[in-house]
Amino acid sequence: MKYVLWGFLGLALLAFLVLILLAVQSRTPPVTLGLDGGRLRPCPATPNCVSSQAPQETARVAPLAYSGSARQAWRRLQQVIEAAGGDIVTRQDAYLHATFVTPWLRFVDDVECLLDARAGVIHVRSASRTGRSDFGVNRKRVEAIRSGLSEMDYR
């Protein structure tokens, strides 16, 4: 019985250390950020990323539609991201990179937005830096941003 307890404690400690290692690893920005040929970079083959420019159905989300001018929408988007707890890292005329930190283990996720004024949309990509699955967190985050933009349209 004593060996079983020590084995269980050892496994629990190992699992905790792995989670801590992943949290520390998520502090390093990925090289897959930014634009590639005027588009957001593609999602990896893991299910912890969504993008409005993803070719694969499982990673695709609709782009963020807006009303009013592109400049107004871009300002509103920044307000929505900051109100949702995002930290805007890069702010350009048509490209934005923000980070979100998960509450429990402090994992860092990246959100990127690309303003397409001609099409009247904002393309979005949300990805976890570590792990394989995100339990739908990135998709929910994009939908929360979409909802926040819609609410601001009615103010």
Rounded to an integer, the average pLDDT of 119-140 is 92
Decide if pLDDT at 147 tops 70: yes
Query: Residue 83 contacts by C-beta under 8 Å, 6 or more apart in sequence?
Result: 148
Decide if pLDDT at 41 tops 70: yes
Q: Higher pLDDT residue, 132 or 10?
A: 132
- The fourth-level CATH superfamily of domain 2-153 is Kinase associated domain 1, KA1 (3.30.310.80)
Rounded to an integer, the average pLDDT of 103-127 is 94
Query: Residue 84 contacts by C-beta under 8 Å, 6 or more apart in sequence?
Result: 100, 141, 144, 145, 148
Domain boundaries, the chain: 2-153
pTM of the model: 0.81
